[in-house]
């Protein structure tokens, strides 16, 4: 039976053509991976691994909003063309709010998207903030853990419960799948990680499995568990469940690994005060280039992830470093279906000639590498993380930092001969075109608002300039200084932990100005991103 909520939606929601117009912003894209080189033992790992990954969707939906499970059930019972369009929109957005439209609901009767998600009671923000600032010992750890949720007891007291308890039933099934996959593989590091991650899901202690993931050296590259914190709109503290299942591209990985050895040199030359630099980065900085078979949960809603840098646990990153994973087939699809068409609309004819996949791919790599560089405490030596100091401004500032310092780092590597000189001519124009690509993600999203900050800053500095016809180009005489100065400003703000200054910067620069909107308005017929169709994964699920 269809619920009263859905009946309300049937009467008043956008019609089928309006919903399809929203969905047309995502270009259907087949995601295929050649598995011929995988031996039978490793191919047998994939079906249980894909089952485990698929379970991340229901976990993530529960984290986003407590009403998602019932609404999904209701929507799935409507077999009309309009009902199918609503269900499709829900699946793409992982909920009834449009990620590209400021989280506006596309079904009437739906409340505003809760900034607290289902991580905290809706009336607890001031109470949680007080605990974050003043709690000590075990209570502090419970409140600030990536892997706890706040709940009210019958008496109204606020308590924090581990994921392993709150999501116990679902996580037990995921652990069973991972152990089945572990038994199939002949690759020791993969078996170690899968067994450790299965144990972590049940114990709520992820550190041993995060280290095992860092040490993973196998043809299959799985990332599965609670990681990114963007869904926590209050404090950027609580991790959302996601999964990526990919195949390692050994040849491309080998090409890029040498850049990881240059991170300490980049850190030592960051354009910030010496006291804000890290004299000794974590020892590991693995880079993996992979081709994605499947993704789910927080990894598959709205705009698709092109690369990621994990883990996020600051204690692990200080001691061990982080790993950067590049999703090459996803990036190639984005470049061909989105970035190239955008560049023809927003760049000058001369600048269009410099847009290249090499520059796009390499900047995404540097973006991920730079997440691990720069300030990690605010102020240095305080034992207070930048995340804690900046609160809900952290995600946007961190994405902007990685973006702009990634561009700064590319110039450093070109100057030192680690990357070809030809990249210098293409990387700034490619970055400028990609800025308009990212702005279309929406200002409610960390990457989109962070990109608005960068673009407005560089326009104000004259590093980019607007020309006739709502087009833009790079001023080569000013762009290097502009990139360096913005890298300095953001990293210094992070080191100071100045939340008020961060809020002021975002209110001034994290907006869409008229000149930029003029260019964005030209992009209406170009997809905002891809909608993956996991063809290879579907074939494996039938085996």
pLDDT tens digit string along 260-277? 789 899 999 999 999 999
Could you give the CA distance from residue 378 to residue 393 in angstroms, rounded to a whole number?
Answer: 14
The answer to whether 293 and 243 are in contact (CB under 8 A) is no
- What's the pLDDT score for residue 1? 33
Q: In three state form, how does the secondary structure of 284-304 look?
A: ECCEEEEEEEEEEECCCCCCC
Q: Kindly indicate the confidence band of residue 256, based on its pLDDT and cuts at 50, 70 and 90.
A: confident
Q: Kindly indicate the confidence band of residue 282, based on its pLDDT and cuts at 50, 70 and 90.
A: low
- What's the pLDDT score for residue 283? 61
Query: At 321, is the secondary structure helix, strand, or coil?
Result: strand
**Burial (Cβ within 10 Å: 0-12, 13-18, ≥19) of residue 500:** exposed
Question: Is residue 167 pLDDT above 90, yes or no?
Answer: yes
Decide if 19 is inside a domain. no
Q: Kindly indicate the confidence band of residue 11, based on its pLDDT and cuts at 50, 70 and 90.
A: very low
Long-range contacts of 538-543 (CB under 8 A, 24+ apart): 540/43, 540/46, 540/47, 540/50, 540/293, 541/47, 541/50, 543/47
Decide if 6 is inside a domain. no
Question: Rounded mean pLDDT of 155-175?
Answer: 98
Q: Is residue 130 domain-shared with residue 177, that is, in the same domain?
A: no
Decide if 262 is inside a domain. yes
Q: Is residue 90 domain-shared with residue 195, that is, in the same domain?
A: no
Q: Kindly indicate the confidence band of residue 442, based on its pLDDT and cuts at 50, 70 and 90.
A: confident
Q: Is residue 147 domain-shared with residue 183, that is, in the same domain?
A: no
Decide if 50 is inside a domain. no
- What's the pLDDT score for residue 513? 96
Q: Mean pLDDT for the chain?
A: 93
Question: Is residue 25 pLDDT above 90, yes or no?
Answer: yes
DSSP 158: E
- What's the pLDDT score for residue 9? 43
The answer to whether 263 and 373 are in contact (CB under 8 A) is yes
Q: Is residue 155 domain-shared with residue 262, that is, in the same domain?
A: no
Q: Is residue 388 domain-shared with residue 502, that is, in the same domain?
A: yes
28-32, 140-144, 441-445: which range is least confident on average?
A: 441-445
Q: Is residue 89 domain-shared with residue 154, that is, in the same domain?
A: no
Q: Kindly indicate the confidence band of residue 369, based on its pLDDT and cuts at 50, 70 and 90.
A: confident
With CA atoms as reference, report the closest residue to 124 among 166, 161, 160, 162: 160
- What's the pLDDT score for residue 7? 42
Decide if 205 is inside a domain. yes
- What's the pLDDT score for residue 13? 56
Residue 260 CA: distances (Å) to CA of 212, 284, 289, 407, 417: 19, 9, 13, 16, 15
70-74, 115-119, 312-316: which range is least confident on average?
A: 312-316
Residue 69 CA: distances (Å) to CA of 95, 121, 168: 9, 18, 16
Q: Is residue 506 domain-shared with residue 394, that is, in the same domain?
A: yes
- What's the pLDDT score for residue 10? 43
Number of domains in the chain: 3
Question: Rounded mean pLDDT of 59-78?
Answer: 96
β-pair partners for 159: 151
pLDDT tens digit string along 392-420? 999 999 999 999 999 999 999 999 999 99
- What's the pLDDT score for residue 207? 95
Question: Is residue 316 pLDDT above 90, yes or no?
Answer: no
- The two tokens of residue 5 are 């909520």
Q: Kindly indicate the confidence band of residue 183, based on its pLDDT and cuts at 50, 70 and 90.
A: very high
The domain boundary residue, chosen from 136, 166, 196: 166
Domain extent for 333 = 168-540
- The two tokens of residue 403 are 């973006």
Question: Is residue 444 pLDDT above 80, yes or no?
Answer: yes
Decide if 483 is inside a domain. yes
- What's the pLDDT score for residue 421? 93
Q: Is residue 290 domain-shared with residue 229, that is, in the same domain?
A: yes
Quote the pTM value.
0.85
Query: At 48, is the secondary structure helix, strand, or coil?
Result: helix
Decide if 467 is inside a domain. yes
Q: Is residue 79 domain-shared with residue 195, that is, in the same domain?
A: no
Q: Is residue 183 domain-shared with residue 205, that is, in the same domain?
A: yes
Decide if 190 is inside a domain. yes
- What's the pLDDT score for residue 284? 59
Could you give the CA distance from residue 409 to residue 535 in angstroms, rounded to a whole number?
Answer: 36
Q: Is residue 281 domain-shared with residue 157, that is, in the same domain?
A: no
CATH code, domain carrying 431: 3.30.540.30
Q: Is residue 146 domain-shared with residue 233, that is, in the same domain?
A: no
- What's the pLDDT score for residue 12? 47
Question: Is residue 4 pLDDT above 50, yes or no?
Answer: no
Long-range contacts of 81-84 (CB under 8 A, 24+ apart): 81/16, 82/10, 82/15, 82/16, 82/19, 83/10
Question: Rounded mean pLDDT of 453-482?
Answer: 97
């Amino acid at each position: 039976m269809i619920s009263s909520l859905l009946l309300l939606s049937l009467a008043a929601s956008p019609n089928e053509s309006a919903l399809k117009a929203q969905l047309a912003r995502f270009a259907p894209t087949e995601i295929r991976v050649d598995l011929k080189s995988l031996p039978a033992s490793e191919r047998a790992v994939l079906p249980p691994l894909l089952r485990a990954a698929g379970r991340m969707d229901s976990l993530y939906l529960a984290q986003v909003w407590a009403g998602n499970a019932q609404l999904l059930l209701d929507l799935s019972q409507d077999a009309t063309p309009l009902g199918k369009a609503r269900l499709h929109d829900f699946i793409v957005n992982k909920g009834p709010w449009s990620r590209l439209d400021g989280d506006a609901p596309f079904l009437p009767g739906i409340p505003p998207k809760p900034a607290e998600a289902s991580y905290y009671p809706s009336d607890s923000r001031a109470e949680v903030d007080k605990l974050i600032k003043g709690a000590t010992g075990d209570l502090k750890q419970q409140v600030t853990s990536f892997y706890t949720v706040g709940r009210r007891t019958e008496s109204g007291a606020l308590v924090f419960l581990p994921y392993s308890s709150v999501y116990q039933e679902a996580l037990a099934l995921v652990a069973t799948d991972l152990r089945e996959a572990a038994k199939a593989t002949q690759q020791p590091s993969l078996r170690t990680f899968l067994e450790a991650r299965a144990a972590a899901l049940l114990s709520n202690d992820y550190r041993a499995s995060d280290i095992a993931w860092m040490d993973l050296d196998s043809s299959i590259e799985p990332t599965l568990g609670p990681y990114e914190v963007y869904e926590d709109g209050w404090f950027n503290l609580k991790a959302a469940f996601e999964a990526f299942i990919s195949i390692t591209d050994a040849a491309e990985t080998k090409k890029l690994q040498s850049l990881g050895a240059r991170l300490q040199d980049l850190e030592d030359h960051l354009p910030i005060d010496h006291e804000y630099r890290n004299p000794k980065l974590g020892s590991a900085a693995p880079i993996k280039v992979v081709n994605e078979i499947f993704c789910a949960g927080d990894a598959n809603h709205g705009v698709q992830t092109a690369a990621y840098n994990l883990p996020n646990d600051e204690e692990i990153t200080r001691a061990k470093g982080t790993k950067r994973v590049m999703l090459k087939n996803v990036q190639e699809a984005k470049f061909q279906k989105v970035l190239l068409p955008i560049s023809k609309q927003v760049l000058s004819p001369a600048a269009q000639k410099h847009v290249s996949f090499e520059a796009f791919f390499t900047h995404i790599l540097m973006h991920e590498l730079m997440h691990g560089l720069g300030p990690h405490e605010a102020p240095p030596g305080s034992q207070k993380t930048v995340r804690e100091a900046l609160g809900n401004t952290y995600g946007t500032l961190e994405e902007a930092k990685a973006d702009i310092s990634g561009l700064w780092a590319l110039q450093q590597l070109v100057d030192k001969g680690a990357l070809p000189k030809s990249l210098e001519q293409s990387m700034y124009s490619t970055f400028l075109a990609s800025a308009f690509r990212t702005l279309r993600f929406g200002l409610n999203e960390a990457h989109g608002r962070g990109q608005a900050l960068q673009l407005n800053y560089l326009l104000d500095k004259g590093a980019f300039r607007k020309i006739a016809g709502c087009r833009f180009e790079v001023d080569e005489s000013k762009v290097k200084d502009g990139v360096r100065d913005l890298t300095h400003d953001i990293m210094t703000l992070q080191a100071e932990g100045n939340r008020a200054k961060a809020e002021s910067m975002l209110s001034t620069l994290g907006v869409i100005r008229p000149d930029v909107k003029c260019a964005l308005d030209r992009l209406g017929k170009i997809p905002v991103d891809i909608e993956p169709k996991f063809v290879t994964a579907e074939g494996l699920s039938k085996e």
